[in-house]
A and B are shown apart, each in its own frame.
Chain A
Amino acid sequence: MFKKEIVRGAISISVGVVIWEILTRLLLENELLIPPPSSVLRTFWTLAASGKLNKHFEATLIEFAYGFSTACTLGIIIGYFMGMYKWFDEIMDPWIATLYSIPVIAIVPLIIIWFGIGMLSKIIVVFKITVVAIILNTAAGIKNLDPVWLELAQSLRLTGWQTTYKIRFPGALPYIITGMRLGVGRALLAVVVAELMASNAGLGYLLRDSSETWDSPKLFVTVILLAVIGLVSFNLIKRLEQRMAPWRQSAEWSSEA
């Protein structure tokens, strides 16, 4: 049954690509509107061979990695305190709610004014997008901890640090990973948006560059590359989630805001 799914999926994708190739070959003389897959592939090869693609890919990846790891570190710490202390939660809550309800795009121009068009502004954008989801989920994880576990910790006479390290943190881990998963998709969008607005490297830059010079094959290469990155990162996190918290069924991949 699982096999059949994959076979059908593969058929669906390959038939789609073949139809695309045939239609573009037969109907369009100009590659501007929709380039055929073969031409997209050729462009991909040229770009990759010249090392240009690598450079942009690397820039995006580094921005993403810095922003994401900072967000994880700070988000877990803040979320932990928010889950532990009610007063801290109440102080932080209105600000986080505000931050959360501002759309990604709206804040990008501001961040670029403040932090320049270099890598720093993109790292901050990624940080801003991911940190909220991680904070909220970590806090929820700490709050929703089974009280029985805490009682167990007490009866084992664990110190405060041990309780945090051995009970609270592992207990909240599935929530934290959910927060990370929600962050990844949005962060990818945000980093591309920021690069599109003002930058000199990165996949967003490539997107802008190719759309402004009407270089459709290059545009499609970028779009497909972004699709692949999205797909891979999504599946990686999902795997991680299943691995770290196998008891939680994560069927709802719907909750990405």
Chain B
Amino acid sequence: MEALTRNLNSTILRVGSVLAGLVFWHFLATTVINDTTFLVSPIVVVATGYEMLFVNGELYPHLFASSWIFFYGFLLAIVAGVPLGFLMALSQIVRDYVNPWMTTLYTTPRIAFAPVLLLWFGVGGGAKVSIVFLGCVFPILINSYYGMRVVNREYVELARSFRLNSRALFFKILLPASVPFVLAGVRLAIGRGLTGVAIAEWFGATEGLGYLIFFAGQTLNIPTLFVGVAVFAALGIFGFEVVRRVEAYATPWKTDARGS
């Protein structure tokens, strides 16, 4: 009973906080600022979103354009990042030679590469996919590497005492043990990949969510800008949730699949 009351209290506080914020926003927009090129009421944002989604369907071409870029970049990042991460974990030499490059590329703000990649690949899909790829690949690579490095020694010793050959050791012990880490990397990569999509679409795109936001910003179309931002946030939450489900399914032995 007490727990129930506490739960109820918590829900009331949360809902109240959101409602109060929205009401405050509404009045700030309609009475204090009262300038639609600056801030619009949440009601207008919702109406615009509804219109773009269900009435004139303006949003869909942008959504599809962005999804393809994201999908390819993300897939490439997994295909390249996971094996390289494993290789780095298993071989000292590969690790030592790759590490300085990886650290440098990883810590550089990704946006810096965008103009360079554009120079190389042109304004077509290649540059965009590679920008997304650059954003996604490092969390995946680093987590794959780390996952395979920290495999519990006891498992490896057990495998040794069963005289597993190195192939079986890899497939039966090392690979399954690093799955949670790889998935954590994939989860982190989603947010970075979405940012990458937005960056990519700034430079010479004619459609896509990033383009939508950028264009709306330049033409002071605040409702559309808000809708674009909201769609981005929703996509991020959605992708995060999908990976969390996959995580719970693929690693049932981990009771807390939420991670950090």
User: Which positions in A face B, CB cutoff 8 Å?
Assistant: 4-5, 8-13, 16, 32-34, 86-87, 90-95, 98, 101-107, 109-110, 112-114, 185, 188-189, 192-193, 196-197, 204, 207-208, 210-211, 214, 216, 219-220, 222-223, 226-227, 230-231, 233-234, 251-257
Would A109 and B100 count as touching, CB distance under 8 A? no
B96 sits at the interface (CB 8 A): yes
**A227/B232 contact (C-beta < 8 A), A90-B10, A211-B115, A257-B188 known:** no
Q: Please, could you name 28 A-B residue pairs with CB atoms under 8 Å apart, sorted by A?
A: A9-B96, A12-B98, A12-B101, A32-B119, A33-B119, A91-B14, A94-B18, A98-B233, A102-B236, A103-B194, A103-B195, A103-B232, A103-B236, A105-B195, A105-B210, A110-B226, A113-B37, A113-B217, A113-B222, A114-B39, A189-B110, A192-B112, A220-B116, A223-B113, A227-B107, A230-B109, A252-B146, A257-B188
**Which residues in window 81-106 of B have CB below 8 A to A?**
93, 96-101, 103-105
CA of A214 to CA of B120 in the docked complex: distance in angstroms? 12
CA of A227 to CA of B109 in the docked complex: distance in angstroms? 7
CA of A105 to CA of B194 in the docked complex: distance in angstroms? 9
Would A109 and B213 count as touching, CB distance under 8 A? yes
CB 8 Å contact bits of B207-218 with A (1 = contact, 0 = none): 000100110111
Report how many A-B pairs have Cβ atoms within 8 Å. 165
B242 sits at the interface (CB 8 A): no
Would A204 and B111 count as touching, CB distance under 8 A? yes
Which of A101, A211, A220, A227 meets B237, CB within 8 Å? Answer: A101
Which chain A positions have C-beta within 8 A of B195? 103-105, 189
CA of A30 to CA of B13 in the docked complex: distance in angstroms? 63
Would B97 and A207 count as touching, CB distance under 8 A? no
CA of A234 to CA of B138 in the docked complex: distance in angstroms? 15
CA of A89 to CA of B181 in the docked complex: distance in angstroms? 29
Interchain residue pairs A-B with the least CB separation, the first 7: A109-B217, A211-B115, A8-B96, A230-B107, A105-B198, A227-B108, A189-B109
Would A211 and B232 count as touching, CB distance under 8 A? no
Which A residue's beta carbon lies closest to that of B118? A211
Would A109 and B216 count as touching, CB distance under 8 A? yes
Would A9 and B99 count as touching, CB distance under 8 A? yes
B17 sits at the interface (CB 8 A): yes
